[in-house]
Copies of this chain bind each other. A is one copy, B any other.
Amino acid sequence: MDELVLRKLLEGIHAGDIAVDEAMSELKGWPRHQSGFANIDHHRKLRTGIPEVIFGENKSSEQIIEIARSMLQGAYVVMATRVNHEKGLAVCAALPGLEYHKQARIIIGNKDKIVMNQGRGKVGVVCAGTSDIPVAEEACLTLLCLGHDVERAYDVGVAGIHRLFACKPLLEEATVLIVVAGMEGALPSVVAGLVEAPVVAVPTSVGYGTGFGGVAALMAMLNSCAPGVAVVNIDNGFGAACMTAAINKK
C-alpha cells in the first residue's frame, strides 16, 4: 500500500534509520514510480471506481486470452468488450469460467466477484430501434458487472411515439436513463423533455447514407433542445454505462 510505504519511509527518517539524501532520491520521483505496478492499471478501480476492462476490438484472441488469464487472478470482475463472435468462442474455449454474450459482444469472468447493489436506484436503458439493441445490451451488461440494477425499454423510437409513453413508469422511476438511438437520434431529446433524471445519450451507427455511421445521430443529441442530456461516442454502450455508474453510485 502506497500510504504504508510512505509512512515507513518517513518513520525511517524520523528514527534516523534512513538518511535524508537517500530519502530525497526515493521521494523525488514519487508518486510516479510505484514499484511493482506494471502498466496494467490495477490502481484504476480505487481511483475511479471502475476496474480495468479489456478493449477487444483491436486485439487478437491470443492477446485477450493472455490478459484475461492474468486478470482472472485478481479481485474484480473481468470484462472484455467489443469481442466478435469468433474471438468470443476462441477465448471462452481457452479459459473456462468465462461466458460470452453474443449480442453485447462482451466476455465476462469472475462473475462471483461482482458487488451488487452499488446504485442509488434503477437505471433505465431505452433504445429506439431493434438494430440499436446490441449497443444497449453492451450498456446493460456493463452496468450489471458494475453492480447496478437495469430495466430495459427497447424499440420505442419517435416514429411511433405512443410506444415511448407506454414506458412512462420506467422513465419516471429511473435515477439515470441511458437512451440509445441511431438514424436521426431524436429519442434523447424527447425523453429528456419528459423526465427529471439525467439522460446519457448514445448515438449508434445504425442507418445509411447521410447517417454517416452515427454522426447524424450524434449531432442531433449534442444539439438537444431539452436540457439534461450529455452524450458519449458512437456505439459506446460501455462508456455510457461507466458514466451512468458514476452518476448512480451510492
Interface residues of A (CB under 8 A from B): 3, 6-7, 10-11, 13-14, 16, 19-20, 23-24, 27-35, 37-39, 41, 43-44, 46-50, 53, 55, 57-59, 63, 82, 128-131, 154-166, 168-169, 172, 176, 183-186, 189-190, 192-201, 203, 205-236, 238-240, 242-243, 245-247, 249
Contacts and interface: CB of A to CB of B under 8 A. Distances in A.
Contacts of A205: 209
Interface of A is mostly: mixed
Contact of A225 (B128, B219, B225, B235): B128
B35 A166 contact: yes
Q: Determine how many copies of this chain the complex contains.
A: 8
A44 B160 CA distance: 7
Contact of A184 (B19, B49, B186, B215): B186
Nearest to A42: B160
Contact of A162 (B13, B32, B59): B32
A43 B184 contact: no
A220 B222 contact: no
A44 B47 CA distance: 28
A242 B220 contact: no
Contact of A193 (B161, B166, B197, B221): B161
Contacts of A19: 14
A66 to B, nearest CB: 11
Most buried by B among A27, A37, A154, A193: A193
Given A163-B41, A166-B29, A190 B186 contact: yes
